């Protein structure tokens, strides 16, 4: 997979390997994985046959869990690293494009911008989804120029201390109304289910989601982890809502620039640079580009996703077309109870 970083060159991540891997450490991680996996609780999977519960969260056993352990044991952050964190289907693709365009606005022109020919997931790669099963060590992040833009779905409390205790690297977290997350996740993962697996019904997906059994779930624990951390260290974690981004994209993009250390100058604002970034990264623009209609993302040897699946509607409140009144009431009640006293609220 070709991944743009703030550099003039494009690195082929899937072919990058560390020249000096500590094989003993890698072997210990493999052993920990093999010893841990059989003892973990299992739940029904949305895309795979089942999920496993590890340290309070539900993960795919052969991908997410294995990669998480690698991150916990081996990842070394840089002070300049920028992480985009999110629960799946919360607006990740859009925010990747906005951050990439904001950080690199002096490097690329809008007429020939990389985002016009390269998907957001290639420009802003997932840290926790690039290790293919054949890779027995990390891909060589040392070759990535700074600032490294890396995306994660990993819950905050599962991140290694090297990431959470580092006061220089920054996180941008985006969350979304759980009703829209549920619907988007259900539609998306049904497209990825193996052909020999019957589609998962909305009713079944709803029950699993309410129980917290979904990829990187429970949803509420995931969101609260980053929300509480953002209150403790607001200079390190910028907490955003998808609904606010949809309502006032210009305001949010300027906040991103300030937070990430790339503030927009008065001259840039007067020249409409913020507006150009929002236009470039809009759903209407990205979804019509050839690269986002015909190309694919290879996250692992078993997970290949058409780029077009990342661009469905991008609407706020699309859940109204799918969920029953009873579903809405139950999900809103769970959300209210889970977030009570936290200061975090979602619109109804």
Question: Would you name the residues annotated as active-site residues?
Answer: 153
Query: From CA 163, how far away is CA 203, in angstroms rounded?
Result: 38
Query: From CA 224, how far away is CA 341, in angstroms rounded?
Result: 11
Contacts (Cβ under 8 Å, ≥6 apart) of 266: none
Contacts (Cβ under 8 Å, ≥6 apart) of 280: 97, 101, 110, 113, 115, 116
The answer to whether the beta carbons of residues 227 and 62 sit under 8 Å apart is no
The dihedral over CA atoms of 347, 200, 33, 154, expressed in degrees to the nearest 10, equals: -20
Angle at 315 between CA 337 and CA 194, to 5 degrees: 85
**Residue carrying structure tokens 């990342």:** 310
**What is the distance of C-alpha 302 from the center of its chain?**
19
């Amino acid at each position: 997979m070709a991944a743009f970083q703030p550099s003039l060159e494009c690195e082929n991540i899937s072919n990058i390997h560390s020249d000096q891997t500590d094989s003993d450490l890698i072997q210990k991680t493999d052993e920990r994985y093999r010893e841990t996996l059989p003892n973990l609780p299992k739940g029904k999977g949305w895309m795979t046959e089942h999920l496993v519960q590890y340290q309070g969260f539900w993960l795919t056993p052969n991908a997410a869990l294995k990669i998480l352990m690698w991150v916990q044991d081996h990842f070394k952050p840089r002070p300049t690293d920028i992480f985009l964190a999110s629960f799946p289907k919360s607006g990740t693709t859009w925010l990747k494009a906005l951050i990439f365009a904001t950080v690199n606005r002096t490097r690329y022109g809008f007429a020939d911008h990389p985002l016009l020919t390269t998907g957001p997931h290639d420009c802003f790669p997932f840290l926790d989804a690039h290790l293919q099963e054949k890779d027995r060590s990390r891909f060589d992040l040392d070759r990535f120029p700074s600032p490294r833009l890396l995306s994660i779905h990993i819950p905050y409390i599962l991140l290694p201390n090297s990431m959470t205790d580092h006061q220089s690297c920054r996180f941008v977290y985006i969350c979304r109304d759980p009703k829209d997350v549920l619907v988007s996740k259900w539609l998306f993962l049904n497209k990825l289910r193996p052909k020999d697996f019957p589609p998962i019904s909305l009713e079944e997906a709803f029950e699993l989601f309410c129980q917290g059994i979904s990829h990187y779930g429970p949803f509420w624990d995931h969101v609260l982890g980053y929300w509480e951390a953002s209150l403790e260290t607001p200079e390190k974690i910028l907490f955003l809502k998808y609904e606010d981004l949809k309502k006032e994209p210009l305001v949010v993009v300027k906040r991103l620039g300030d937070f990430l250390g790339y503030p927009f100058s008065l001259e840039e604002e007067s020249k409409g640079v913020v507006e150009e970034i929002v236009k470039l990264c809009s759903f209407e623009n990205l979804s019509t580009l050839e690269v986002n209609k015909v190309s694919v993302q290879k996250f692992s040897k078993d997970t290949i996703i058409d780029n077009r699946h990342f661009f469905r509607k991008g609407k706020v409140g699309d859940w109204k077309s799918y969920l029953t009144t009873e579903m809405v009431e139950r999900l809103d009640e769970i959300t209210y109870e889970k977030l009570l006293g936290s200061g975090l609220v979602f619109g109804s």
